[in-house]
A and B are shown apart, each in its own frame.
Chain A
Amino acid sequence: MDVKLNIKRFDPEVADPQPYWEEFTVTIEDNGTVLDALIKVREDSDGAFSLRCSCRSSICGSCAVRINGHAGLACKTQAATAIKDGVITVEPAGNMPVIKDLVVNFDSFWDKINEIEPYLKPEGPEPEAEYIASNEAMLHLSDVTSCIMCGSCFSDCTVLEVDPTFLGPAALAKAYRFTADPRDGDENGLSIDRLEELNKPTGMWDCTRCMECVTACPKGVAPMERIMALRDQAMEAGFTNTNGARHTEAFSDSVEHSGWLDELRLVPKSVGMTNVSALIGYAPIAIQAITHGKMPPIIHKKLPQSKNVGKIFDKVDGPEERGRRR
């Protein structure tokens, strides 16, 4: 089958280099992948077209690119399903500077991985034979260790798009791989130092829960879910002095006691009821809201039968259930 590709290219060695689009038409097998097509471009049309690729079977992570605006592995994407309005649009991965054509600079990606100390740190003596650990724990970790560091999540992260200092989905998921490993940290597997670091600004609380990383990940790692799990671990470990932790608790309390969200009180509770400067910072918006009739009701009425909601909280999230979840 013939496929038409529209590729965003870049040559750093011309005078005044700018990205430009170039179209190619190549012939591949009917069940060929986007990577097969890209390799054809390189082999038959233009040897100067650069991209990273190696294994062709979604395990090395080299070929992460944006196909039709969304990051993924070229070798895992069937060309036939990627055709939109007669063409497959291919661009380099996002949030990373372009070196040439589809090759991007991964330095910031690796810097962030390094930042989270990505190696097992068991406290206490090493056993002679293997650490004893449940298969359940290992299978759970294997979902996260499936990460092949391809950078797809990093490419499409909406927080990294506006804030390059964010640790990012890959590094945070990798950090979770250790905090969830019973061999990392103390004898109960609690990695308190890691959680303390990840709890700080640019860490776990900066994720905006947009699910781009979950969508982009070709290996089912679901980085956002791992970040949520980190938040849970941090709060359990007693790290509750963050806006994020307070926000979650306040939200939860509101729903537990009234059945729905008390928006008005959520904001001050998140920043801290005694955080005068932050509260003052909201004053102009509050005034605007009042004058425009957008202020949520001061008296937050409970929903009918809200007691039943509270009971569900007790049953599902009570101490017994939480103990079982651990």
Chain B
Amino acid sequence: MLEHDVLVIGAGLAGMRAAIAARAGGATVAIISKVHPVRSHSNAAQGGINAALTDRGDEWEDHAYDTVKGSDFLGDQDAIEVMCKAAGQALIDMEHFGVTFNRDDEGRLGTRAFGGQRRARTFFVGDFTGQALLHVMFEQLIKSGVRRYEEWFVSSLIIEDGQVCGVMALEIRTGQVFAIRAKTVIFCTGGFGRVFEPSTNALICTGDGSALAFNAGAELMDMEMVQYHPTTLAGSGVLISEAARGEGAYLLDKDGNRFMEKYAPNMMELASRDVVSRAEQTEINAGNGVDGCVYLDCRHLGEAMIMEKLSQIREIGIDLVGVDMITDPIPIRPGMHYAMGGIRTNVDGQTNLPGVYAAGECACVSVHGGNRLGANSLLDTIVFGERSGNHAAEASRDSDYVEFNVDQAVRNEEKRIQDLLDRPQNGDRIASVRLGMGESMNRNLAVYRNEEGMKETLGDLVELQKRYETVPVDNKGKVFNTDLIFALELGFMLDNATPIAMSALDRKDSRGAQARTDYPDRDDENWMKHLVIKKGETGPELSYAPVSITQWTPEERKY
């Protein structure tokens, strides 16, 4: 019988941090991931990780205020305080684990400027900070001896009488179905980026955890808050890091003007991401772009600096669009990037389901509110990954496994999968349903939204869900059946899409990443609250939760 006190689902930064913390807390821990841990999407974070170090004369309250303001005052200030207070230690922990952070002339950790921060407190490794952290976390995971289920796909959560019992998982290499018992489960499954097409996200970012949790009765929160990153490549949607702007790059329209002057005269290109994306989209819509893009210009930064600090994004520009940023500006546009919303948790990662936790991008504590500042995500994963791991280990000490009929569960899941494989071949292809969803979401739930568009997408989603029910799986085999995985993931993606669209339609104001042309102003009187969505009898049900306000009174947000 496979059983563990704490089962962490997802082996990105949050997952590995949680697993290591839980293990240190004395629990039996296992971590399960549908890809090898180092393939996790934490890899793709480029710019850096924020922390206010007191020995530099920085204050965590300043970082917290910048974050609160960045969130457009939707972020829960108590949670933000927790995160910013813990940041310094989290950073030093990472350095002690071995991360090869950039240094200043005195050999101390060096910083770069980043969006929405009034002083430079972003610590970095070139322009591949996420990859650097992820690999060091994996080294520590190896060292910790935590049991790893690598390339295992969690297909369902097992709940008995409102209590979590464990998960059903498919060993991808053999196709065998297993039940894994756990006293506590921590979802660290990342974002739902592939619900949108295009997206900066990897193909594996299909919102599995948020869907599984939602279907089991967990609350999701702030699902309408979807970040469109200002600098993504046309076509593939691949990310070009904010680090470029942090190091001084300009955003230019087709005539070479720095248009951010009109929208954020103080912080210019380093205003918060939603502000910059809206600025770009407005310029593009007004005809000041080229082929739906504006330009990111790094030429004045010089070859030496680009090679030292931005070499990876330079490679991406050359490989994917044939542009060398040393000599030419890169065409970019806003692209779907990050989910501020997700599974609702408290500051210890607990959800409304006993024994079920969440941390990282799939969770909504909320520290990012309506808009996430760059370099706060890496921090979020480490701080709340650790807190969830600690709490889950503690909680599992005093609890027992919940009994359930393991054989029956395995048989049921095997049948469910076999039914999927046995579908007739005449339905729509998986890719076409996925593209239909992605294109609709990107059309109507992007930088600017309106009622008509969002209703259209909700209608599209109903259609797509029907089409999904008959999508065939080409591969009838057991070994490494990626086709089956895609079919299951598509289901999860659709499960995320409707809550996103419903929440966006319900929120009748513009705040953070949500910008409605029919409700263009921020309406604190009526909408200073979180949208919570939960699975109901006939469909998802919306409710509201207050925003925690501790020190900072909401004010107008100007950059």
Given A11-B477, A119-B142, A120-B98: A130 in contact with B109 (beta carbons within 8 A): yes
- Of the candidates B43, B100, B105, B235, the one whose C-beta lies within 8 Å of that of A145 is B100
| Chain B 60-99 interface residues, beta-carbon cutoff 8 Å to A | 92, 95-98
Interface string of B466-488 (1 = CB under 8 A from A): 00000001111111111100100
Name the A residues within 8 Å of B479 (CB-CB): 12-13, 99-100
Establish whether residues A60 and B140, one from each chain, have CB atoms under 8 Å apart when the complex forms.
no
B264 within 8 A of A: no
Establish whether residues A139 and B308, one from each chain, have CB atoms under 8 Å apart when the complex forms.
yes
A47 within 8 A of B: yes
- Nearest CB on A from B206, distance (A): 11
- Nearest CB on B from A223, distance (A): 16
Name the B residues within 8 Å of A184 (CB-CB): 98
CA distance A59 to B313 in the complex (A): 11
Name the B residues within 8 Å of A183 (CB-CB): 98
B478 to A, closest residue via Cβ = A13
Establish whether residues A57 and B320, one from each chain, have CB atoms under 8 Å apart when the complex forms.
yes
Establish whether residues B135 and A48, one from each chain, have CB atoms under 8 Å apart when the complex forms.
no
A238 within 8 A of B: no
Establish whether residues A129 and B44, one from each chain, have CB atoms under 8 Å apart when the complex forms.
no
A61 within 8 A of B: yes
Establish whether residues A135 and B102, one from each chain, have CB atoms under 8 Å apart when the complex forms.
yes
B485 to A, closest residue via Cβ = A50
Name the A residues within 8 Å of B103 (CB-CB): 133-135, 138
- Nearest CB on A from B151, distance (A): 9
- Nearest CB on A from B490, distance (A): 12
Name the B residues within 8 Å of A100 (CB-CB): 479-480
Given A47-B475, A119-B142: A56 in contact with B203 (beta carbons within 8 A): yes
CA distance A148 to B44 in the complex (A): 11
| Chain B 406-441 interface residues, beta-carbon cutoff 8 Å to A | 429-431
- Nearest CB on B from A199, distance (A): 22
Name the B residues within 8 Å of A62 (CB-CB): 35, 39
- Of the candidates B38, B41, B104, B321, the one whose C-beta lies within 8 Å of that of A148 is B38
Establish whether residues B39 and A61, one from each chain, have CB atoms under 8 Å apart when the complex forms.
yes
- Nearest CB on A from B412, distance (A): 24
Establish whether residues A48 and B477, one from each chain, have CB atoms under 8 Å apart when the complex forms.
yes
- Nearest CB on B from A266, distance (A): 39
A58 within 8 A of B: yes
B132 within 8 A of A: yes
- Nearest CB on B from A115, distance (A): 11
B204 within 8 A of A: yes
Establish whether residues B36 and A31, one from each chain, have CB atoms under 8 Å apart when the complex forms.
no
- Nearest CB on A from B27, distance (A): 21
A142 within 8 A of B: yes
A126 within 8 A of B: yes
Establish whether residues A48 and B483, one from each chain, have CB atoms under 8 Å apart when the complex forms.
yes
Establish whether residues A47 and B483, one from each chain, have CB atoms under 8 Å apart when the complex forms.
yes
| Chain B 478-525 interface residues, beta-carbon cutoff 8 Å to A | 478-483, 486
Number of interface residues of A (CB under 8 A): 57
Name the A residues within 8 Å of B107 (CB-CB): 132-135
Establish whether residues B474 and A47, one from each chain, have CB atoms under 8 Å apart when the complex forms.
yes
Stretch at the interface among B123-131, B376-384, B528-536: B123-131
Name the A residues within 8 Å of B131 (CB-CB): 59, 146, 148
A69 within 8 A of B: no
B319 within 8 A of A: yes
Q: How many A-B residue pairs have CB under 8 A?
A: 161
A20 within 8 A of B: no
Establish whether residues B203 and A54, one from each chain, have CB atoms under 8 Å apart when the complex forms.
yes
CA distance A46 to B128 in the complex (A): 35
A127 to B, closest residue via Cβ = B96
- Nearest CB on B from A178, distance (A): 8
B55 within 8 A of A: yes
- Nearest CB on A from B305, distance (A): 12
Establish whether residues A44 and B140, one from each chain, have CB atoms under 8 Å apart when the complex forms.
no
Interface string of A134-163 (1 = CB under 8 A from B): 110011011001111100000000000000
A23 within 8 A of B: no
Establish whether residues B139 and A118, one from each chain, have CB atoms under 8 Å apart when the complex forms.
yes
Name the A residues within 8 Å of B109 (CB-CB): 130
CA distance A232 to B139 in the complex (A): 25
Establish whether residues B98 and A119, one from each chain, have CB atoms under 8 Å apart when the complex forms.
yes
A55 within 8 A of B: yes
Name the B residues within 8 Å of A50 (CB-CB): 475, 480-482
A106 within 8 A of B: yes
Given A31-B322, A119-B98, A148-B38: A54 in contact with B204 (beta carbons within 8 A): yes
- Of the candidates B96, B173, B431, the one whose C-beta lies within 8 Å of that of A44 is B431
A114 within 8 A of B: yes
CA distance A134 to B103 in the complex (A): 6
CA distance A183 to B97 in the complex (A): 10
B315 within 8 A of A: yes
CA distance A226 to B497 in the complex (A): 47
B53 to A, closest residue via Cβ = A129
Establish whether residues A57 and B98, one from each chain, have CB atoms under 8 Å apart when the complex forms.
no
Name the B residues within 8 Å of A52 (CB-CB): 35, 39
Name the B residues within 8 Å of A243 (CB-CB): none
Name the B residues within 8 Å of A321 (CB-CB): none
Establish whether residues A60 and B142, one from each chain, have CB atoms under 8 Å apart when the complex forms.
no
A78 within 8 A of B: yes
| Chain A 27-65 interface residues, beta-carbon cutoff 8 Å to B | 29, 31, 33, 42-44, 46-48, 50-62
- Of the candidates B95, B102, B430, the one whose C-beta lies within 8 Å of that of A131 is B95
Establish whether residues A54 and B315, one from each chain, have CB atoms under 8 Å apart when the complex forms.
no
CA distance A145 to B473 in the complex (A): 39
A209 within 8 A of B: no
CA distance A181 to B96 in the complex (A): 12
B236 within 8 A of A: yes
CA distance A206 to B108 in the complex (A): 38
Name the A residues within 8 Å of B167 (CB-CB): none
- Of the candidates B43, B98, B480, the one whose C-beta lies within 8 Å of that of A60 is B43
- Nearest CB on A from B288, distance (A): 24
A247 within 8 A of B: no
Of the listed residues A43, A55, A59, A183, the one surrounded by the most CB atoms of chain B closer than 10 A to its CB is A59
Name the B residues within 8 Å of A58 (CB-CB): 315-316, 319
B101 within 8 A of A: yes
Given A106-B36, A118-B142, A131-B95: A59 in contact with B101 (beta carbons within 8 A): no
CA distance A47 to B202 in the complex (A): 19
CA distance A100 to B481 in the complex (A): 9
A73 to B, closest residue via Cβ = B319
Name the A residues within 8 Å of B238 (CB-CB): 56-57
Establish whether residues B106 and A132, one from each chain, have CB atoms under 8 Å apart when the complex forms.
yes
Name the A residues within 8 Å of B110 (CB-CB): 135
Knowing that A51-B482, A130-B95, A131-B95 touch, tell me 11 more A-B residue pairs with CB under 8 angstroms. Answer: A43-B431, A47-B486, A48-B474, A48-B477, A54-B35, A58-B316, A120-B96, A130-B108, A131-B96, A134-B103, A135-B107
22 CB contacts below 8 A, A to B, read A12-B479, A13-B478, A48-B474, A48-B475, A48-B477, A51-B482, A54-B202, A55-B44, A59-B44, A60-B41, A61-B38, A76-B319, A119-B97, A119-B98, A129-B108, A134-B103, A135-B103, A135-B107, A138-B100, A145-B100, A148-B38, A148-B43
6 A-B pairs with least C-beta separation: A47-B474, A120-B98, A48-B475, A43-B431, A119-B139, A135-B103
A residues near B, CB below 8 A?
11-13, 29, 31, 33, 42-44, 46-48, 50-62, 76, 78, 99-101, 103, 106, 114, 118-120, 126, 128-135, 138-139, 141-142, 145-149, 181, 183-184
